[in-house]
């Protein structure tokens, strides 16, 4: 739960820190441990960031309508240099957050895998705290893989796990996997 102990201290670092952390962790630990470590660190940071929302000038997130909530969340991330987020509800159990300018996306790398591991955890942490319960997040589209935007699916752990399985097993695109849920 969110506590009102005040907003956590924040610092600004160059966005290149994400690529550097990812590369160094992969050299030391391997790919999968790197993904897990960045996700867990992101989650912890997201939980702390929720206190910045509550401790800042923002109103209680539960008092906002959906449109205002998603607009405020996008502003929250934009003011901190993460990029802009756009919310879509294309399935009753899974929401989507999209960004064409998300900071962690490593466009120049052009790799086959999603790169926003810290962000996935961060979004899960902040959404879980603001919602007052667990919210799972999965990056389903990434600019690193040549897409125009990063897209993060969010919902219950069960819904996100099922979506991930459908994306893997059926080799379906996002729309097909959402329709099959």
Q: Considering the domain boundaries, does residue 9 fall inside one?
A: no
pLDDT at 68: 87
pLDDT at 54: 67
Q: What is the pLDDT along the chain (181 residues), one digit of tens a residue?
A: 444 556 677 888 888 888 888 889 999 999 899 999 999 999 999 999 998 776 655 567 777 788 888 998 999 999 999 999 999 998 999 999 999 999 998 766 656 677 899 999 999 999 999 999 999 999 999 888 888 999 999 999 999 999 999 988 866 788 889 988 8
Q: Considering the domain boundaries, does residue 146 fall inside one?
A: yes
Instruction: Give which of 149, 153, 145, 148 is closest to 123, Cα–Cα.
Output: 153
Count how many domains the chain has. Answer: 1
Domain CATH for 169: 3.30.1380.20
pLDDT at 16: 85
pLDDT at 3: 47
Q: Say how far apart CA 160 and CA 109 lie, in whole Å.
A: 27
Q: Considering the domain boundaries, does residue 2 fall inside one?
A: no
pLDDT at 1: 47
Q: Considering the domain boundaries, does residue 3 fall inside one?
A: no
The three-state (H, E, C) secondary structure of the chain, written as one string: CCCCCCCCCCCCCCCHHHHHHHHHHHHHHCHHHHHHHHHHHHHHHHHHHHHHHHHCCCCCHHHCCHHHHHHHHHHHHHHCCCCCCEEECCCCCEEEEEECCCCCCCHHHCCCCCCCHHHHHHHHHHHHHHHCCCCEEEEEECHHHCCCCEEEEEECHHHHHHHHHHHHHCCCCHHHHHHHC
pLDDT at 88: 94
Q: Which domain holds residue 47?
A: 16-180
């Amino acid at each position: 739960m969110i506590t009102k102990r005040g907003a956590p201290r924040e610092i600004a670092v160059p966005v290149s820190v994400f690529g550097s952390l990812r590369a160094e962790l992969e050299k030391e630990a391997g790919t999968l441990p790197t993904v897990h470590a960045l996700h867990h660190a992101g989650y912890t940071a997201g939980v702390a960031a929720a206190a910045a929302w509550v401790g800042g000038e923002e109103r209680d997130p539960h008092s906002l309508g959906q449109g205002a909530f998603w607009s405020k969340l996008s502003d929250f991330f934009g003011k901190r240099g993460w990029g802009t987020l756009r919310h879509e509800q294309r399935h009753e159990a899974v929401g989507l957050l999209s960004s064409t300018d998300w900071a962690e996306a490593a466009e120049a790398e052009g790799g086959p895998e999603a790169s926003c591991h810290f962000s996935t955890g961060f979004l899960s942490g902040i959404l879980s705290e603001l919602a007052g319960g667990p919210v799972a997040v999965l990056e389903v589209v990434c600019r690193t893989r040549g897409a125009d935007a990063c897209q993060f699916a969010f919902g219950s752990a069960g819904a996100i796990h099922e979506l991930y399985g459908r994306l893997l097993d059926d080799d379906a695109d996002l729309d097909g996997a959402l329709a099959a849920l």
